[in-house]
């Protein structure tokens, strides 16, 4: 894309002023060029955002490196207090953050107000509090004491996706800052605006200059120099498998540890003994955020004997979904993020239909709504008559597209559920506790939900198996990643 000159650095988005420059070393930094940021809600141009590259990436890592010794030496109690003040700032600006993020990524305004922004603040508070209880009991070896400590590793690069920009930024930022690392955040170019607001909030909370830096731009231009910099000591990325492979190659050159939370093609298993009303509700819930949720159980696997009853209940609930403007309280599903992404989603569906799949619901963009609002809307879709080895079953669509398959018994259910290269999550509905325990133990997944969905304590490990990721985040696992663990062994008393 041809460079666009940087214009007025402050854009007004949903009535909120947003500085579109980078945040490096405690200052706003402009770039010679900018990139356009359009709203998926109506296609409107929201802002021209500073388009960073090698120079900005180098400056941000330099600022993070220079600030690291001071932040690492800051007592844990003070680091925790700063994180709590940032959380206070998020809570004080919940309405503004919610409006900007809805305009920027198209997720429901009411969800941002009631769930997403409060969770963003909770992420920071959780790791601030966790830091103060981080401890491992000393242990003894032949009279020698062994003490375990967590030493901050150094500057960290955090790369976040567009489907939950602020929440996932704080999910990474919280433990990194609590651990004593300094950070450079590179947000997704399709939804970068709340990251800029977060930089301002962190500054107002008293976070020292250079501890948190923000570089905006495209992956090849801004992301590559960040993950290639030998001064970076940790890289945390949430996004696609192909991008993770590229990042891993750069990280390997300098042996930089990485944490990857990647794609999913998660199963939702419905057994005949399940509460089918509950199961149908769980299945329809997978359309949340227009299907743009990595954890979504997009493969519905239903026991043959209850297929028709389940399908009737599912379709009745799914047809109650209201697709529309995410700022409207009555809307239950908003747009997809970008015209290119909408084309990608539709391409998956069209190829599946050409291969013999049959649509039971949707199957195409909502053209009338798009013409009226101007945004990128796709009908909630359910496809059946799909083969296990087909593209639509094996590849992540990341849109409001589910598939329906049936199984004859528990063994086949597990085989189908585990039959992809992913392993991020799984959901199962059953009325038999023993079956739930037995099946969950066999599923390849980082998280398994039984008769529920999207419930997780922040202390629990989160991540994926197989190509769904590397490592775990949450609780002490996050500190293990952002720190170098040290064991100090001391001889018995009386040494000389």
Name the strands in the sheet holding 33-38, side by side, starting at the edge strand that comes first in the sequence: 4-5, 33-38, 45-50
Separation between Cα atoms, residue 305 and residue 156, nearest integer Å:
52
Separation between Cα atoms, residue 266 and residue 469, nearest integer Å:
13
Residue 261 a catalytic site member: yes
CB atoms under 10 Å from CB of 152, counted, come to 26
Q: What are phi and psi of 474, to 5 degrees?
A: 115, 145
Paired tokens of 496: 């000389």
- Are 174 and 126 in contact, with CB atoms under 8 Å apart? yes
- The alpha helices in 285-338, defined as continuous H runs, are 307-318
DSSP code at position 323: B
Which pLDDT value is given to residue 495? Answer: 60
Burial class of residue 322, CB neighbours in 10 A (0-12, 13-18, 19+): exposed
486: which strand partners?
149
Question: Digits of tens for pLDDT over the chain (496 positions)?
Answer: 566 666 679 999 999 999 999 999 999 999 999 999 999 999 999 999 999 999 999 999 999 999 999 999 999 999 999 999 999 999 999 999 999 999 999 999 999 999 999 999 999 999 999 999 998 989 999 989 999 999 999 999 999 999 999 999 999 999 999 999 999 999 999 999 999 999 999 999 999 999 999 999 999 999 999 999 999 999 999 999 999 999 999 999 999 999 999 989 999 999 999 999 999 999 999 999 999 999 999 999 999 999 999 999 999 999 999 999 999 999 999 999 999 999 999 999 999 999 999 999 999 999 999 899 998 999 999 999 999 999 999 999 999 999 999 999 999 999 999 999 999 999 999 999 999 999 999 999 999 999 999 998 999 999 999 999 999 999 999 999 999 999 999 998 866 5
Marked catalytic residue, from 56, 96, 221, 294: 294
Separation between Cα atoms, residue 294 and residue 61, nearest integer Å:
29
Separation between Cα atoms, residue 159 and residue 52, nearest integer Å:
14
DSSP code at position 263: -
Residue 294 a catalytic site member: yes
| Angle in degrees, CA 9, 13, 15, rounded to 5 | 115
Superfamily in which the 4-262+464-487 domain is placed by CATH: Aldehyde Dehydrogenase; Chain A, domain 1 (3.40.605.10)
Burial class of residue 293, CB neighbours in 10 A (0-12, 13-18, 19+): buried
Marked catalytic residue, from 96, 101, 189, 261: 261
Separation between Cα atoms, residue 117 and residue 90, nearest integer Å:
7
- SS3 call for 12: strand
Q: How far is CA 460 from the centre of its chain?
A: 16
- CB contact set of 86 (below 8 Å; sequence gap of 6+): 124, 198, 201, 202, 205, 207
Separation between Cα atoms, residue 182 and residue 267, nearest integer Å:
38
DSSP code at position 350: H
Give the CATH architecture of domain 267-450.
Answer: 3-Layer(aba) Sandwich (3.40)
- Are 427 and 449 in contact, with CB atoms under 8 Å apart? yes
Separation between Cα atoms, residue 300 and residue 297, nearest integer Å:
7
End-to-end alpha carbon distance in the chain: 69
| Angle in degrees, CA 394, 398, 399, rounded to 5 | 115
Largest CA distance in the chain: 84
- Which residue from 467, 465, 56, 473 is spatially nearest to 239, judged by alpha carbons? 467
- Which residue from 203, 253, 206, 207 is spatially nearest to 232, judged by alpha carbons? 253
- SS3 call for 199: helix
In the chain, where the domains are located: 4-262+464-487, 267-450
Which pLDDT value is given to residue 8? Answer: 79
- SS3 call for 365: strand
Domains 4-262+464-487 and 267-450 share a fold: no
Burial class of residue 115, CB neighbours in 10 A (0-12, 13-18, 19+): middle
Separation between Cα atoms, residue 23 and residue 214, nearest integer Å:
5
- Are 136 and 476 in contact, with CB atoms under 8 Å apart? no
- CB contact set of 477 (below 8 Å; sequence gap of 6+): 461, 471
- Are 288 and 427 in contact, with CB atoms under 8 Å apart? no
- CB contact set of 473 (below 8 Å; sequence gap of 6+): 171, 172, 175, 236, 259, 261, 461, 462, 463, 481
Separation between Cα atoms, residue 311 and residue 306, nearest integer Å:
8
Which pLDDT value is given to residue 493? Answer: 80
Separation between Cα atoms, residue 410 and residue 257, nearest integer Å:
39
Separation between Cα atoms, residue 15 and residue 100, nearest integer Å:
8
């Amino acid at each position: 894309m041809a460079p666009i000159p940087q214009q007025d650095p402050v854009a007004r988005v949903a009535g909120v002023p947003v500085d579109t420059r980078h945040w490096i070393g405690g200052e706003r930094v402009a770039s010679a060029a900018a990139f356009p940021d359009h709203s998926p809600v109506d296609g409107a141009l929201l802002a021209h955002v500073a388009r960073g590259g090698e120079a900005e990436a180098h400056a941000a890592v330099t600022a993070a490196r220079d600030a690291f010794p001071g932040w690492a030496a800051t007592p844990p109690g003070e680091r925790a207090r700063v994180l709590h003040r940032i959380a206070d700032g998020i809570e004080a600006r919940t309405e503004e953050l919610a409006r900007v993020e809805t305009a920027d990524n198209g997720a429901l305004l009411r969800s941002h107000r009631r769930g997403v922004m409060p969770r963003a603040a909770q992420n920071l508070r959780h790791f601030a509090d966790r830091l103060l209880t981080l401890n491992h009991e000393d242990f003894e070896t032949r009279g020698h004491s062994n003490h375990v400590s967590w030493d901050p590793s150094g500057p960290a690069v955090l790369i976040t996706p567009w489907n939950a920009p602020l929440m996932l930024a704080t999910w990474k930022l919280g433990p990194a800052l609590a651990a004593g690392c300094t950070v450079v955040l590179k947000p997704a170019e399709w939804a970068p605006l709340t990251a800029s607001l977060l930089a301002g909030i962190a500054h107002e909370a008293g976070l020292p200059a250079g501890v948190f830096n923000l570089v905006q731009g495209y992956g090849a231009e801004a992301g590559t120099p960040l993950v290639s910099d030998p001064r970076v000591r940790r890289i945390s990325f949430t996004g696609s498998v192909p991008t993770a492979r590229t990042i891993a190659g750069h990280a390997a050159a300098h042996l930089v540890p990485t944490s990857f939370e990647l794609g999913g093609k998660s199963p939702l298993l419905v057994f005949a003994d399940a509460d089918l009303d509950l199961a149908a509700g769980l299945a329809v819930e997978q359309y949340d955020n227009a299907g743009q949720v990595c954890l979504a159980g997009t493969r519905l696997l239903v026991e043959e004997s209850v297929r028709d009853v389940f399908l009737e209940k599912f379709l009745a609930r799914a047809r109650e979904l209201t697709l529309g403007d995410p700022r409207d309280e009555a809307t239950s599903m908003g747009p997809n993020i970008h015209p290119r992404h909408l084309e990608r989603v539709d391409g998956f569906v069209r190829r599946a239909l050409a291969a013999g799949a049959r649509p039971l619901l949707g199957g195409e963009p909502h053209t009338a709504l798009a013409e009226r609002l101007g945004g990128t809307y796709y009908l909630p879709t359910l496809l059946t008559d799909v083969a296990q080895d087909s593209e639509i079953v094996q590849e992540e669509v990341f849109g409001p597209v589910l598939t329906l398959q049936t199984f004859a018994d528990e063994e086949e259910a597990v085989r189908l559920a585990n039959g992809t290269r992913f392993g991020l999550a799984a959901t199962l509905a059953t009325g038999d506790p023993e079956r739930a325990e037995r099946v969950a133990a066999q599923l390849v997944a980082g998280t398994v939900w039984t008769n529920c969905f999207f419930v997780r304590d922040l202390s629990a490990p989160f991540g994926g198996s197989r190509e769904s990721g590397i490592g775990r985040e949450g609780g002490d696992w996050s500190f293990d990643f952002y720190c170098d663990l040290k064991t100090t062994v001391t001889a018995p008393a009386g040494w000389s």
